[in-house]
Amino acid sequence: MTISDIASKDTSIEEVCERPRAPIGLLAELTYRCPLQCPYCSNPLEINRSDKELSTSEWQNVMRQAADLGILQIHLSGGEPCVRQDLEQILGTAVDVGLYTNLITSGVTLTRERLEGLAKIGLDHVQLSIQDVEPENADFISNYKGGLEKKREVARWVKELGLPLTLNVVVHRHNIENTSAMIDFAVGNGAGRIELAHVQYYAWALKNRAALIPTREQFYRSVKISNEAKERLKGVLVFDVVAHDQYAMRPKPCMGGWGRNLIDISPSGKVMPCQACESIPGIEIDNVRVKALSDIWVNGQAFNMFRGTSWMKEPCRSCERREIDWGGCRCQALSVSGDANATDPACQLSPFHEEFAATAGRESQEPSPPFIYRRMGGPAQHQF
């Protein structure tokens, strides 16, 4: 069944979908299993066991449905996608149906032989995460020994195999002073793009907010360094900087706009507009094991809940930026105000904006509490 078939069932779909008619990308969270225990992980606090994961054939069916829906890009993620022994089969199907494939990995479980095999299948791009450029601090943040050197090795393999490389860094108070060095690391290890993503506070990151949040001064200094490097490295390194919400004046569009550009599928097959949306009261999340992906995209209650602008309250409803930020983050609005329909507190027009920023200011000035590490068997703390 195509998206046109689904849409033809409902004459009001133009008003519901607004635009566009098909998503650009799909984030395929193949598993929540991961050898790293990063305290800012976007995976849920309650992590599914591996026996709940979609099977090889189910993920292959998702790839076919994604192509039929008009999706262009598949981001193979986790957890750590490389712990799936069937990654090659899933990738092969994505390549066969013409999808652009991006492997999002920590790299620590990869071998050169396996990466070469993925490249031969048709992998298009590798996105490699690092925690810091100081080995001991990188180990501390991820609660994993020796990760940085392995990542250097993986970056070298990626370039030897002729694959494009993006370096991904989650920025917080424990590595923000190394922003310049992390940019240099990206250039020195052959990356063509760097994503400097300041922590978004939901899931494990919300649990660790006081341990992660930098000061306003640190944030602005980091942005200045990034902007200067962006000018200096034009034609060498592409920059994608995800700003810090607590020190912003305007919100960012959630996932490019709720139900507009991206689909997230969890390891167990839940199809979601964003990774954290399960926290929203009244949301009805469909599963790709039960419904067609195209049906979920067009008619799913979760995708239509905040799609477009008709759901907005004032001041969002009449704001000139309503079709730029699309209301910002619904989960953040819920967390701060108790109302998922409220103005994102990152916006200066929100009645919660001042306290939202003040909380960050207070927490960032206090000594960092211990990390509560992300793990499947329950949280682990580390005193520093």
Q: pLDDT by residue (tens digit) across 247-257?
A: 999 999 988 89
What is the C-alpha separation between 213 and 168, in angstroms, rounded?
18
pLDDT range class, residue 381, cuts 50, 70, 90: low
Please check the confidence at residue 5 and state whether its pLDDT lies above 60. Answer: no
14-23, 185-194, 314-323, 367-376: which range is least confident on average? 14-23
Cα-Cα-Cα-Cα dihedral sign, residues 362, 363, 364, 369? positive
Please check the confidence at residue 9 and state whether its pLDDT lies above 50. Answer: no
Please list the residues that pair with 264 across neighbouring strands: 27, 272
Closest CA to 40 of 143, 161, 155, 121: 143
Cα-Cα-Cα-Cα dihedral sign, residues 287, 28, 245, 310? negative
- In this structure, are residues 332 and 202 in contact, taking their beta carbons and an 8 Å threshold? yes
Query: What does the pLDDT read at residue 378?
Result: 55
Report the relative pairing of strands 25-29 and 73-77 from DSSP bridges.
Answer: parallel
Closest CA to 23 of 296, 284, 330, 328: 296
pLDDT range class, residue 113, cuts 50, 70, 90: very high
Torsion-angle region of residue 251: left (phi > 0), alpha (psi -120 to 50) or beta?
beta
- In this structure, are residues 84 and 54 in contact, taking their beta carbons and an 8 Å threshold? no
Q: pLDDT by residue (tens digit) across 48-80?
A: 666 799 999 999 999 999 999 999 999 999 999
Query: What does the pLDDT read at residue 37?
Result: 95
Query: What does the pLDDT read at residue 379?
Result: 53
pLDDT range class, residue 383, cuts 50, 70, 90: very low
Place of tokens 């092969």: 92
Residues 6+ apart with CB under 8 A from 187: 233, 236, 237
51-55, 97-101, 135-139, 344-348: which range is least confident on average? 51-55
State the average pLDDT over residues 186-206. Answer: 95
Q: What's the chain's Rg over C-alpha atoms? A: 20
